[in-house]
Structure 1
Amino acid sequence: MPQEDGYWTRPGVLRVHPLAYISCREKLPGSFEIVHAKDATGHFFNSRLIIIFIIGKATKAFISLPKCKGVNLSIAEERDK
């Protein structure tokens, strides 16, 4: 089971928050377990626990990551950079 400080990704998702930190877990009565997460740009979102894949602990990934660390910039942000 993932801990609240886990580093995770959702397999098969390319441009929708691919890497994030778990901020908290919540069990909904009679429903799914929901994971609240925060990505590297500071956006918060939710996902089901059964569709995430843990790749590290806290801010340390156990696998090698691309230089961008999962942050996808918009076209305007890439141009300004």
Structure 2
Amino acid sequence: MHTGNIRCSSYFYCPAANTCCKTLTGQWGCCPYILGQCCKDGKHCCERGYECDVTFSSCKKKGFLSIPAQLKRKALLL
């Protein structure tokens, strides 16, 4: 494991500048944002300050700003 990586558990980690999120199956996934917001659908995540809109797979901020939600990537084995 390289310096700066994010440890999710005793066995899994995500690259630096990612956030560990659980998938619906209980596995670890990596959100490509620092302090990312893990969506309840277990597949997507949003940048900090945005709320997940799982119906449209998007991330919304107060007002009308909406951006696509990012798919999580599989966490890596230590």
TM-score range, shorter chain: under 0.3
TM-score, normalised to structure 2, is: 0.26
Query: Relative to total residues, which structure has the larger helix share, 1 or 2?
Result: 1
Q: State the structure with bigger RCO (CA 8 A, min sep 6), 1 or 2.
A: 1
